Amino acid sequence: MAKSLSIQTEYITLGQMLKEVGLIDTGGMAKHFLAERMVKVNGEREDRRGRKLYDGDEIEIEDTDVYIVSSMSK
């Protein structure tokens, strides 16, 4: 079952999202994390830590979870 990730802004970057859900400790770790793990955004492989995630985007992280972005700024 997918987990919901609520954001207060229009978007969140993939690097910020990884930090927010506790998969990395600092933003600087995002590039390494993305090189080591398969991460898919809306079903497509993604390795850019600056990728903007918007309301309704689905992020699937290898051996972890699936997250759905939910924006509170609608």
Q: What is the pLDDT of residues 8-67, one digit of tens each?
A: 999 999 999 999 999 999 988 999 999 999 999 999 999 999 999 999 999 999 988 999
Residue type, 49: R
Domains and their CATH numbers in the chain: 3-71 (3.10.290.10)
| Separation of alpha carbons 4 and 69, rounded Å | 6
Q: 70 falls in which pLDDT band (50, 70, 90)?
A: very high
This prediction's pTM: 0.91
